């Protein structure tokens, strides 16, 4: 049986940990972008302007804008 410190040294654990961390960071960025797009739409900015300010592809801003419509 592995101890916790031994388990943390295994490649499987390290890969799973890194994958979980990456997924968490991606989810965090998604939430921030979603909130930013929502707020900027409320301010009356166009999707093109939002894409420029957030340095995101227009298609991504359009996708996030649709998500904000579904939340309201």
Per-residue model confidence as pLDDT tens digits over 5-37 = 888 889 988 899 899 998 999 899 999 999 999
Q: Give residue 16's Cα distance to chain centre.
A: 19
Query: What's the rounded mean pLDDT across residues 31-53?
Result: 97
**Measured distance CA(24)–CA(44) in Å, rounded:** 30
Residues written for the chain: 72
By CB atoms closer than 10 A (0-12, 13-18, 19+), residue 54 is: middle
- What pLDDT sits at residue 34? 95
């Amino acid at each position: 049986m592995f101890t916790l410190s031994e388990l943390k040294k295994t490649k499987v654990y390290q890969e799973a940990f890194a994958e979980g961390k990456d997924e968490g960071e991606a989810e965090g960025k998604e939430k921030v972008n979603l909130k930013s797009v929502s707020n900027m739409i409320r301010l009356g900015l166009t999707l093109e302007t939002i894409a420029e300010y957030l340095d995101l592809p227009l298609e991504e801003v359009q996708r996030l804008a649709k998500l904000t419509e579904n939340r309201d």
